[in-house]
Amino acid sequence: MLRILFGALMAVLFVFSLRSVLRGTLELRDAFIWILLSVGGLALALFPGLMHLAQLLGFRVESNALLSLGIVALLYLNFLQANLIARLRRDQRSLAQSIAIGSKK
């Protein structure tokens, strides 16, 4: 039952991400990680044999492996967002400086 719910959730995430890209509300670059995560989650839900890898990695319960994988994915997304924010701040500072120099002339 849990596997079916997880698969349905991943399918909804996939459709939602794809629709957002097609509508133009989300860029493909930003939605790529969500699409990748949903496809990976669907693969885990459809092929339960893949979860035996969790035991090889030292997890006793499959749900702990999924939780750990989710945490790692969210940390990766957080890292990507932090890099984007840092780049946007640099661009904003550079733009403000160029406007300030241009207005003094």
Q: Walk along the chain (105 residues) and give the pLDDT tens digit of each residue.
A: 778 898 899 999 999 999 999 999 988 888 888 888 889 888 888 887 777 888 888 888 877 888 888 899 889 889 989 999 999 999 999 999 999 988 775
Question: What is the phi/psi pair of residue 24, to 5°?
Answer: 90, 10
Give the up-direction half-sphere exposure of residue 13: CA atoms within 13 A in the CB hemisphere. 18
Would you state the pLDDT for residue 47? 83
Give the up-direction half-sphere exposure of residue 87: CA atoms within 13 A in the CB hemisphere. 6
Structural domain count of the chain: 1
Domain, as residue range, for 33? 2-104
